Every structure is written in structure tokens, then in C-alpha cells.
Amino acid sequence: MLHITGRKFVCTIFLFVACCNATMAQRDFSKESARQSREWVKDAVIYEIFTRNFSPQGNFNGITAKLDDLKNLGVTVLWLMPIHPSGIEKKKGTIGSPYAVKDYYAINPDYGSKEDFQRLVNETHKRGMKIIIDIVANHTAWDSVLMKTPDFYKRDASGKILSPYDWTDVAALNYDNPKVRQYMMEMLKYWISEFKLDGFRCDVAWLVPTDFWEKARTELEKINPDILMIAESSAPEHLVKAFDMDYAWPGLHALEDVITGKKSAAFLRDNWQEERARYPQHALRMRFSDNHDERRAIVEFGRAAALAASALVLTMDGVPLLYNGMEVGDTTESGAPALFERLPIFWPIAERRPEFPRFYKHFIALRGAHPALRQGATEWLRNSDETRVVTYLRQSDMEEILVAINLSNRPFTGLLEVGNGAAFEEITPEIATDGKRKSHATGLPALSLDAWEYRLFRRAKGSKGVGE
């Protein structure tokens, strides 16, 4: 959750929090192991839903009606943005932010009843998918029911309740108060036990003490040992005990800088290596090019570049996230985050942008069919123009998949450092409007890519090309 927008601000805050904690700065998390997640978590494709914008109805029933579509797309985990009533006092925009929560135990009446929500959960489970909800544990609306206990909130020297940063529509909870911790713990347990949810995405987890999250994980697993917890954070400490995965925010910012020409494509590899060096071993990151805090990638980058960005997200290590409407090329008008207004997804846009549903359907299926793309090791490969092109291998015990993506608006013809590569077979999904793949020579290490083009190649382990 951000009540202001701006990619650089988000990254700056995360780095500020990490760097200012002297104790954690001395702790080498790369020598530690991340908590062990279940296979379904590692293999997940997460789909973020803004209930009031997802369907014309703007409610739970509108989501339930599209569950078959989401299942057919290849989604395995639904993440619902906050489903609680939003505060009115000091609200932003016409409706206010879903991250300004009025009552943690209530459901936004505009979204439906508890029975409607339970039906959504049940129907999701019937289709073999998981469902989690957003929990905003750091702050509440100014007209929250918790304002009846004012000692729950942070205050300045004069006793004035504080907002976190300049998020003026919310008030910061005080985790130095044991009663706050107890209240929030019981609230989390309520949602898991009452509705049989599969876990939580935890908003601005980096502003809530890590030891709270660690205890919460222990308590919640007593109710459901198979829960998923995602931290909106880029702090390595969160992945040791508390969370299954966190946000790869720096990777998003690196991708933006490359696509807009501010950085070389090699910056993505450098960023990946830097994060790998400071994270716990086997840490799981959630990767994305679009979410509710960002301008739509299709608006920010353009149509072709947005798909190239998604090709990277869906073939990199970690767990990919899709934000509702990406799969049809929705722009949500200006492309700006629609946190404070009702801006429904325009689903018929798929008819004018058929390459988008085709792309996501085929790429998610490709990921599902190849263990190397879901959990394989990553090896970056050199190529003859690393200012514009990224190339890497994803490797499992049985196969290697080579990914090449042109992150520029100019064609590329060059070489890769993969030896002869004769054993590679092209498996690039056929996502063109006419359903046909462009004809290219596949004699690696020679490679050609059109502007913003991506190509994938596979070979079985043990099948080496001449000269390797």
C-alpha cells in the first residue's frame, strides 16, 4: 500500500529501513537459510484482485463468476486487496483507499456479505486454487473502531496521533503496546479459522516489527499448517522465519530503468546478483511488472514493451504476480493506480488487443509445463549486446531453458555464449494475433530478435551441442 505513488520513493523507503537498522546491517543473511515453503507456493502464479474494480458488479459475486476464467488462465493463488470497510475521515479521492481500514473484523458492505465471501472462498477451493487476503497491520483509518482505544496509536511529543510518512488518510498503530499485538494476532487467527483462508499478503510489512510476524506465523500454523504469507517488503530478515516470499521491488525498478533507457540491460543481472548476495539461501521473491501501486505497465512502457517485461517476470526465478486486467491489456484510463476511485477493468479491450490474453495464457502454460521455469536454477549468459538484451538459462535436473529478451525498440542480431547450441529446440509461445510464430533461424549461438521480442529454447539435460 502506498498513498503516494512513485517507484523511486518505494525503493528509497525500503533501503532506508534496511540501512538504518545497525544490528541487521551487521547480520549476514546470505549465510542463513530462508524458511522452507511448500511446493505449491514455489510453483504458484499469483493473481491480485481489486474487488471494486474487477467486475461490473464490483463485489465478491463478480469474482466468483470469473473463477473458471482465472483457473483456465493458469492462476493458482488469488490475492484479494483489503476487503474491509474503508474509512471516511480524511479519505483520499471520492471513495477513499481500501488500505485505510475502518474495522478489521468487518467486510465492506459494497463487496457483499460474509456469506458471499465464504462462497467465493469455497468456490475457489473447489477449483483447486488458493485464496489469501490483504492485511493492513501497520495503520488504520482515522475513524477506525480502534480509535476508541487511543493508546493503540503512535503519538508525537505533544500527544498527537501520527500518520506514517505523509499518508495522511491513515493513523499508525503502536506495536510497543502489547495490547495492539494481542488484538492484531487474534484478528489474523479469526480470518484463517472463520473463513478457511490460505493466508495473507501483509501490507507494508517492513513497518511492523519482525518478531510480531514471526510469532504470528507460529500461531497461524497451529490453525492451518499450510498457509502462505507474503510480505510487502524487501528486508531479508522477513524470509528467515515469518514469510514465504517478499516483493522484488528493486528488480521492478531495475526493469523500469532498462526499458526506459536509463540503464543497460546488464543492470538487471547486476541487481539480481546483488540481491542474491544479501538474501537468505533459497529465498523466494515475488516478481512483477504491474500492481496496484504502479502505473499500468502497458501505459508506462507501451504494449510491446509491457509484454517483454512480463516475459521476464514469467521466466525468472521466484513467483510471478499478475494484477487484474493485465491479461487483456487493460489501461485503467490514465494507467494511474486506481486506489481512491471506482475505475472498473474494461474487459472487452481484449478484442482489440488479442495478443495480451494469448500471451498470458501461453506463457503461464509454458511455466506450468516446465519445472526449470518454476524452480530451476538461474545462470546469466553473456551476449554481444548487453546494453539491450538479457539472456539466461533456467535449469532443472532434467532440462535447460534458454531465455532471450530484447528490452529495446531496436532489432538485435548477435551471438550468445552457449557454444554451438545445436541441441536446443525453440519453444517460444505462439502469441501473435494470427497465432503464427515469426520465422527465425534457430542456429544458436547466433540469435536474432525484433524490437521487444522474446524467444525461449529448450534442451534435455545431457544433450550438448557441438563445441560445448
pLDDT at residue number 422: 55
Residue 73, H or E segment = helix 67-73
pLDDT at residue number 17: 46
Q: Measured between alpha carbons, how far is 233 from 209 in angstroms, rounded to an integer?
A: 12
Q: In angstroms, how far is CA 295 from the centroid of its own chain?
A: 14
Q: How many CA atoms are closer than 13 Å to the CA of 360, on its beta-carbon side?
A: 27
Q: Are residues 313 and 234 in the same domain?
A: yes
Q: Measured between alpha carbons, how far is 147 from 392 in angstroms, rounded to an integer?
A: 52
Instruction: Tell me which residue of 236, 237, 244, 139 sits closest to 201, measured CA to CA.
Output: 244
CATH number of the domain where residue 394 is located: 2.60.40.1180
Select from 323, 344, 369 the last residue of a domain.
369
Per DSSP, what are the bridge partners of residue 135?
Answer: 202
SS3 17: helix
**pLDDT of 238-256, one tens digit each?**
999 999 999 999 999 999 9
pLDDT at residue number 255: 97
pLDDT at residue number 435: 47
Q: Is the peptide bond before 348 cis (omega within 30 degrees of 0)?
A: no
Residue at 227 is within a domain: yes
Q: Measured between alpha carbons, how far is 252 from 310 in angstroms, rounded to an integer?
A: 11
Query: What's the pLDDT band for 437 if we cut at 50, 70, 90?
Result: low
Q: Are residues 439 and 357 in the same domain?
A: no
**pLDDT of 289-319, one tens digit each?**
999 999 899 999 999 999 999 999 999 999 9
pLDDT at residue number 331: 87
Q: Are residues 170 and 195 in the same domain?
A: yes
> What percent of the chain stands above pLDDT 70?
88
Number of domains in the chain: 2
Cα angle value 463/464/468 (rounded, 5°):
165
pLDDT at residue number 16: 43
Q: Measured between alpha carbons, how far is 364 from 396 in angstroms, rounded to an integer?
A: 18
Q: 272 to each of 32, 279, 340, 416, how far by Cα in Å? A: 18, 11, 34, 20
Q: Determine which of 139-148, 210-219, 261-270, 437-446 has the lowest per-residue pLDDT on average.
A: 437-446
pLDDT at residue number 461: 83
Residue at 57 is within a domain: yes
Residue 14, H or E segment = helix 7-20
Q: Are residues 192 and 46 in the same domain?
A: yes
CB-based contact 9:167 (threshold 8 Å): no
CB-based contact 170:164 (threshold 8 Å): yes
Residue at 14 is within a domain: no
Cα angle value 442/447/449 (rounded, 5°):
105
Q: Are residues 343 and 411 in the same domain?
A: no
CATH number of the domain where residue 95 is located: 3.20.20.80
* Cβ-based neighbour number of residue 411 at 10 Å: 13
CB-based contact 359:431 (threshold 8 Å): yes
Instruction: Say what the pTM is.
Output: 0.93
Q: Are residues 319 and 383 in the same domain?
A: no
Q: Are residues 68 and 178 in the same domain?
A: yes
Select from 369, 401, 419 the last residue of a domain.
369
Residues whose CB is less than 8 angstroms from the CB of residue 238 and which lie 6 or more positions away in sequence, other chains included: 205, 206, 210, 213, 231, 246
Cα angle value 441/446/448 (rounded, 5°):
60
Q: Are residues 336 and 407 in the same domain?
A: no
Residue at 4 is within a domain: no
Q: Are residues 133 and 256 in the same domain?
A: yes
Q: Are residues 166 and 75 in the same domain?
A: yes
Residue at 190 is within a domain: yes
Q: In angstroms, how far is CA 452 from the centroid of its own chain?
A: 22
pLDDT at residue number 439: 53
Query: What's the pLDDT band for 443 if we cut at 50, 70, 90?
Result: confident
Residue at 415 is within a domain: yes
Instruction: Tell me which residue of 207, 151, 155, 204 sits closest to 182, measured CA to CA.
Output: 151
**Does residue 441 register a pLDDT over 80?**
no
Select from 323, 341, 369 the last residue of a domain.
369
Q: Are residues 361 and 386 in the same domain?
A: no
Look up the domain containing 426 and give its range: 377-460
Residue at 13 is within a domain: no
Q: Are residues 362 and 387 in the same domain?
A: no
SS3 427: coil
Q: Round to the nearest angstrom and report the end-to-end CA distance of the chain.
A: 48
Residue at 468 is within a domain: no
Mean pLDDT over residues 37-46, rounded? 97
